[in-house]
């Protein structure tokens, strides 16, 4: 079946070829460099695609066309923006902490790259098969808030500092609900390994066979993840009317581009985690009893399933942004601490009970 064709043969042949011409140390170094380049290319391609997709989705939501002038249907607009940022000068404000000011965008972007390590894109296409992959992603992604706080404090700008403090409070708060929604599925699956979670959905995705707790966890995950990303309607850290651009007000040129790239990379990671945990990852869509339909679904390559689900969740996050108005900061924190967090804790208890009774499919 085409969907089950993996990349194991390709990676094994590359490893064997390198082993035949290099020492073990050089083989390891060469493979690490190749993996790094592949991840960078993937992030850049996905960021460009996400930026173009966001502009077109925004245009569709607002009954307009979006970018149309640069390239075919505006497809080169993102490349024009990158070129513009490359040519702009990176300015450092007077009184800023130059070391932390320059380090913050690198830290934020590095954390985004690190979170992609345990993701499984297709059978045999996984950088690091970690037995605590879900825990690793949630733990590493939490480090990004340090870079945001560094950027706001080191800028020597009160608006940047306020934006950074808002962002820190928001991310730390909504991490709880996002993590608890994932734990509900981990309880049903019985493993923290991303590979094991995907394999456990061979007979059905968790959002279907996990009953109401899985559906509720998915809804909470999308809401909490959107808030973690500092995107509308939760973009209080970048409220233009109050804080200009928030924690990256003083950044320009490629330093600003690194924050911009990190935002879309984090959005991509959130979509990958959601598609892996709730929608089966690269597993095809099967319906019990419909063997002919399931056989047709198996002909779609696994990597197409994975990225199709990822872009579906990206569309949901963009739909949020261009549909709902911005909340106040007190409303945002009230939503988390008074509603999402208590309901997520109750949902975990229900999920544990269903798992204990063996009621999930």
- Flag whether 142 is in a domain: yes
**Would residue 243 count as lying in a domain?**
yes
Task: Report yes or no on 70 lying in a domain.
Answer: no
284-326 pLDDT per residue, tens: 998 877 888 888 888 899 999 999 999 999 999 999 888 888 8
User: Is 215 strand, coil or helix?
Assistant: helix
Q: Distance (Å, rounded) from C-alpha 253 to C-alpha 101?
A: 14
Q: Which domain holds residue 147?
A: 88-357
> Any residues with CB less than 8 A from the CB of 115 and at least 6 apart, and which?
137, 140, 141, 266, 269
pLDDT at 240: 63
Cα 39 → chain centroid:
14
Q: For residue range 174-226, what is the model confidence (pLDDT) as tens digits?
A: 999 999 999 999 999 999 999 999 999 988 899 998 889 999 999 999 999 99
What per-residue confidence (pLDDT) applies to 361? 61
Q: What is the pTM of this model?
A: 0.90
- What is the DSSP secondary-structure string of 286-321? --TT-HHHHHHHHTS-HHHHHHHHHHHHHHHHHHHH
> What per-residue confidence (pLDDT) applies to 226?
92
Per the domain annotation, does 130 fall within a domain? yes
The count of structural domains within the chain is 1
322: in domain: yes
Partnered with residue 125 across adjacent β-strands are: 122
What is the DSSP annotation of 157-187?
-HHHHHHHHHHHHHHHHHHHHHHHHHHHHHH
Residue 77 inside a domain? The answer is: no
Going by C-beta distance under 8 Å and a sequence separation of 6 or more, which residues neighbour residue 134? 182, 186, 192, 193, 194, 197, 273, 277
Is the pLDDT confidence value at 6 over 60?
no
pLDDT tens digit sequence for 105-153: 999 999 988 998 899 998 888 888 888 999 999 999 889 899 999 999 9
Calculate mean pLDDT across residues 37-62. 90
User: How confident is residue 4, by pLDDT bands cut at 50, 70 and 90?
Assistant: very low
What pLDDT does 206 receive? 92
Q: Average per-residue pLDDT in the chain?
A: 88
Q: Is residue 28 part of a domain?
A: no
Flag whether 10 is in a domain: no
Q: Are the beta carbons of 210 and 144 closer than 8 angstroms? A: no
Is pLDDT above 60 for 2?
no
């Amino acid at each position: 079946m085409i969907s089950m064709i993996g990349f194991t043969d390709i990676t094994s042949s590359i490893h064997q070829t390198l082993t035949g011409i290099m020492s073990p140390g050089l083989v390891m170094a060469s493979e690490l460099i190749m993996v790094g380049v592949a991840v960078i290319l993937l992030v850049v391609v996905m960021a460009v695609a996400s930026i173009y997709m966001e502009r077109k989705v925004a245009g569709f939501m607002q009954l307009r066309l979006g970018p149309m002038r640069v390239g075919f249907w505006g497809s080169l607009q993102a490349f024009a923006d990158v070129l513009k940022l490359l040519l702009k000068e990176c300015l450092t404000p007077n009184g800023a902490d130059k070391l932390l000011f320059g380090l913050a965008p690198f830290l934020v972007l590095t954390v985004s790259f690190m979170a992609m390590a345990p993701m499984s894109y297709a059978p045999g296409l996984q950088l690091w098969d970690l037995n605590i992959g879900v825990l690793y992603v949630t733990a590493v992604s939490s480090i990004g808030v340090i870079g945001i706080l560094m950027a706001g404090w080191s800028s020597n700008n009160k608006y940047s500092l306020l934006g950074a403090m808002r962002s820190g409070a928001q991310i730390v708060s909504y991490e709880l609900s996002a993590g608890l929604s994932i734990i509900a599925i981990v309880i049903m699956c019985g493993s923290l390994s991303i590979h094991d979670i995907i394999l456990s959905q061979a007979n059905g995705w968790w959002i279907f066979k996990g009953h109401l707790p899985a559906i509720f966890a998915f809804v909470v995950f999308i809401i909490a993840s959107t808030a973690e990303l500092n995107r509308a309607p939760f973009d209080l850290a970048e409220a233009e009317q109050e804080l200009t651009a928030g924690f990256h007000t003083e950044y320009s040129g490629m330093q600003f581009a690194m924050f911009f790239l990190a935002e879309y990379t984090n959005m991509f990671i959130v979509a990958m985690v959601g598609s892996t945990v709730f929608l089966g990852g690269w597993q095809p869509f099967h319906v019990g009893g419909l063997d002919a339909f399931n056989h047709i679904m198996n002909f779609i390559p696994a990597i197409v399933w994975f990225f199709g689900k990822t872009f579906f969740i990206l569309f949901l996050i963009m739909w949020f942004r261009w549909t709902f108005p911005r909340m106040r900061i007190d409303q945002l924190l009230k939503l988390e601490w008074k509603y999402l967090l208590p309901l997520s804790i109750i949902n975990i208890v229900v999920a544990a009970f269903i798992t204990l009774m063996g009621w999930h499919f």
